[in-house]
Chains A and B, each alone.
Chain A
């Protein structure tokens, strides 16, 4: 009887502490979640996220694996925010071609960027 009580105490105290964090199974995220968290915590880390996504995507391409939903577009937006519209367009195009659900948004963003480019051509450095 005492033993049962002890076992129950141990279980009750263990509670939700023993649960592991969600482990991704279907996609390789290349550290996306923690890079995004770090970037929100300290905006200067967004540059690190850009480099991290670049190398993750290059590695996935090399091993011919599908890129997880959203990563190509997130890199595109980081390019856009640092002033590289052409690179942004190429990432948005890849997101659209990889994930058909993104087509509406990606087409709009690509169209807007191309329109903006015609109005104000990028200065080639």
Chain B
């Protein structure tokens, strides 16, 4: 019994995602960005729509953290006007020139490693896996995080039939966006490497 309790306590502490290592925030604090340019995400998943969906979830949590976030759809449009359609190519540009083109203090690069659902008859597991990386306008990397989130319905005492039904529902419409929003919240707001508050938040609540 004691072993069971220990095992459960460990599970509980581990939570639903691996803990990341506490980072040194001094580079971020030295750069003290006021504005963040979010460029289109690089996609290593098989879902071609994932990058746009991810892009739509990024501005709100970053702006709510107190930063000016460049309008993501306008950013995408401007980059396309400059002939930059491929996210891989954009991520390979020197940050200095991207930051200069937009007048941004820092650039956020997101890579989608996984965006998929694994199916079995009684359980469906939806997974998103992202790398986040922020680079200041002088080219220094000032922050990075990695986040994996899983969602698997059927933990809810609804029995086998309930589990099969909810697996089928998840299979029909995997809720990637909700998981993505949670991943963003974890890395930007809640995690141990959460971003420091930006200038607009500091001003509002000193």
Contact = CB atoms under 8 A, between A and B. Distances in A.
Contacts of B57: 33, 37
A11 B14 CA distance: 12
A105 B11 CA distance: 48
Interface stretch (A13-21, A56-64, A117-125): A13-21
B59 A77 contact: no
Interface string B49-60: 100110111011
A22 B66 CA distance: 14
B56 A12 contact: no
B126 interface: no
Given A4-B5, A40-B55, A105-B102, A77 B71 contact: yes
Interface string B167-188: 0000000000110011011000
Nearest to B66: A26
Contacts of A26: 63-64, 66, 200-201, 204
A63 B72 CA distance: 26
Contact of A19 (B63, B68, B182, B200): B182
Interface of A is mostly: helix
Contacts of A81: 77
Interface of B is mostly: helix
Contact of A21 (B72, B181, B201): B181
A66 to B, nearest CB: 10
Given A68-B63, A102-B70, A21 B78 contact: no
Contacts of A109: 78
B189 interface: yes
B49 A16 contact: no
A42 to B, nearest CB: 11
Interface in B1-49: 1, 4-5, 8-9, 11-12, 15-17, 34-35, 49
A47 interface: no
B72 A77 contact: no
B56 A33 contact: yes
22 contacts: A2-B1, A13-B155, A17-B151, A17-B155, A22-B61, A22-B181, A26-B204, A27-B64, A33-B56, A37-B56, A37-B57, A39-B73, A40-B53, A40-B55, A69-B63, A70-B59, A70-B71, A71-B71, A73-B71, A74-B73, A74-B74, A77-B71
Interface of B: 1, 4-5, 8-9, 11-12, 15-17, 34-35, 49, 52-53, 55-57, 59-61, 63-64, 66-74, 77-78, 101-105, 149, 151, 155, 177-178, 181-182, 184-185, 189, 200-201, 204
